[in-house]
Structure 1
Amino acid sequence: MKHIEILMGDITRVKADAIVNAANPVMLGGGGVDGAIHRAAGPELLAECRKVKAVNGVRCPFGQARITPAGQLQAKYVIHAVGPVYHREDNPQALLHSAYEQACELALENHCHSIAFPAISCGAYGFPHQEAAEIALAVCAQEKFSQLTIRFYLFEPPLLRIFQQALTTLFT
């Protein structure tokens, strides 16, 4: 698929219209990709996240996405997508699908041409990597997102290989 690429790299250094943060529901930073993005973006990102209305402390429920300016990152926006904690949900697949879909929809609504994704829910949230790759790529391959240049930036070689193989399998 011409508009989807799988790359090894640090998402915090990416030049893209939007960078997706594998966020938690409170959107105030955390560990893994979330913490790295917040550190790289500087205090402006945290300030922007605090502006997102919270309901009972939740700014972005599981399976949803929100958009903020990107602070000091080389992107215009950060799209905060909250994937599921795999073993806590009855249907984690639907929530992960929704998180990727909402992120892509927010990118289009905000006139983005390029979007960079991490592997949402594949760290501490425990989503099986093969299944997550298949869901992520199936969502991003939808015709309605074909005008976006979509790049996945993965940090670990085993995860990179899983996503590359899933992309090859999806389009052969």
Structure 2
Amino acid sequence: MVRTIILALGLMLSVAAQAQEAKRADVEALLEASNMDAMIESIYAQTNKMFAGMGQQLGIKPDEQQLFDDYMNEVTSAMRKEVSWAKMKEPMVQIYLKHYSDKEIKDMLAFYQSETGQSMVKKMPAVTQDSMMLSQQMLQNFLPKIQVIAEDFNQKLQAHRQAK
């Protein structure tokens, strides 16, 4: 009897392990089909563009440009090393395994392997770039309003403190 229970438990654990491996393989296929590694590269490119504009915003002078460029290159190099797809892949697999059911993973995989899914993957970097540009434009328009609100708050706060 004990032997039968041990065999049954062993069989159940084996089936569960096989199911987990199949789910893991589907997650890895999903990440590949969704071109996750290229998305990371796209983020690097966007970050580089953002860094390029930072010199101007920080008032970097022409004679300081090389120093700033060296700094930005060092930051970019460190980012590529520390936030690489090679380092992110396994934690991303674990996140997908944790949050998505087998059916959800299979459905997403089917979508990303479809013509429409592949079209989305190809267009997503441009959509992301345009979205980031829109957000930056909106923030640039919003920042002066925030400054006015902050100045008003500061004046009210100072007046409140002086009244005490």
TM-score, normalisation: structure 1: 0.21
Which structure: greater helix fraction? 2
- Of structures 1 and 2, the one scoring higher in RCO (CA 8 A, sep 6+) is 2
Say which one has the larger Rg. 2
